[in-house]
Amino acid sequence: MGGAFCVAEDDFKISYSQSYTRNETQPEQQERSPSKDDPSEMFFPEESRSGADEAGPSRQLQSAPARNSLTPELVLHIIRHGESEFNAATNAGHDFKDPQIFNPKLTSKGRRQVAVRHELTEHLVTTGDIGLPISYLAEKFDQLREAMSGIPERWWFAPECNDSLSQRFNKIEPKRNLQERVASFRRWVQAQQEQVIVAYGHSSMIRELSGGKRLKNCEILTLHL
């Protein structure tokens, strides 16, 4: 059995080849367990490197369409977003609780971090408005104000208010919800035909996806699937 492919761009080149021959007297090779110390093999980790209270990979959510030996290797580059005003505030010691700062903008440092070649922007797929309250969206998109009138102010996950002081007992998304979102992203990645995918995201989702790795702003983690 053999196969080969090559993907080349201006700034990178990826090549792959495979050749394997076995006669009837040779036993089939045992499947090798991924090395826990090799980031390239950590796309479906079994255990989180973070603590029990932090978001970590779930054993029940590791399944995804398997790529067989004839399918070219897929390379996933994960990049944490540039420094935001929220990052700058928390790094300075302010104790803000998400989501008190909605849709924070990038700082001047963050804008420098994410500067890219203009010809790449036409290939970007941007995120939606999840995490923005209805009052903000209604002000930004006045033509949709009436259509959004029946939607709760915080229409993403939010538990019922049961604390008279803070008006909310728990503002943190449950770990299970995060795991389900990451599992959905894994399945989407595995279903793509491209051999190289670049994804931007937030710290919590990247830690869950990579098995506990913490990235700095605009740091890149490469996973080989």
pLDDT (tens digit, 9 = 90+) per residue, 35-63? 444 444 434 333 333 333 344 444 333 44
Q: Say yes or no to pLDDT of 163 above 50.
A: no
Looking at residue 156, what is its pLDDT?
63
Output 4 or 214, whichever has higher pLDDT: 214
Confidence of residue 7 (pLDDT cuts 50, 70, 90): very low
Confidence of residue 22 (pLDDT cuts 50, 70, 90): very low
- Name the amino acid, one letter, at 8: A
Specify the DSSP element, H or E, that contains 221. strand 220-224
Q: Is the pTM of this model over 0.95?
A: no
Spatial CA neighbour of 148 closest among 138, 133, 158:
138
Q: Say yes or no to pLDDT of 214 above 60.
A: yes
Which residues in 26-132 belong to E strands, given as ranges?
Answer: 75-80
Q: What is the DSSP string of 21-72?
A: ---TTSPPPPPPPPPTT-GGG-SS-SS-SS-TTS----GGG---PPP-TTSP
pLDDT (mean) for 205-221: 88
The answer to whether 15 touches 195, Cβ cutoff 8 Å, is: no
Q: Say yes or no to pLDDT of 14 above 70.
A: no
Looking at residue 67, what is its pLDDT?
55
Output 14 or 175, whichever has higher pLDDT: 175
Residues near 119 by Cβ (< 8 Å), separated by ≥ 6? none
pLDDT (mean) for 134-162: 72
Confidence of residue 77 (pLDDT cuts 50, 70, 90): very high
- Rounded to a whole number, what is the largest CA-CA distance in the chain? 74
Report the range out of 22-26, 53-57, 131-135, 205-209 with the highest average pLDDT.
205-209
Q: Say yes or no to pLDDT of 213 above 80.
A: yes
Output 98 or 110, whichever has higher pLDDT: 110
Looking at residue 76, what is its pLDDT?
92
Looking at residue 177, what is its pLDDT?
85
Q: What is the mean pLDDT of the chain?
A: 65
Residues near 63 by Cβ (< 8 Å), separated by ≥ 6? none
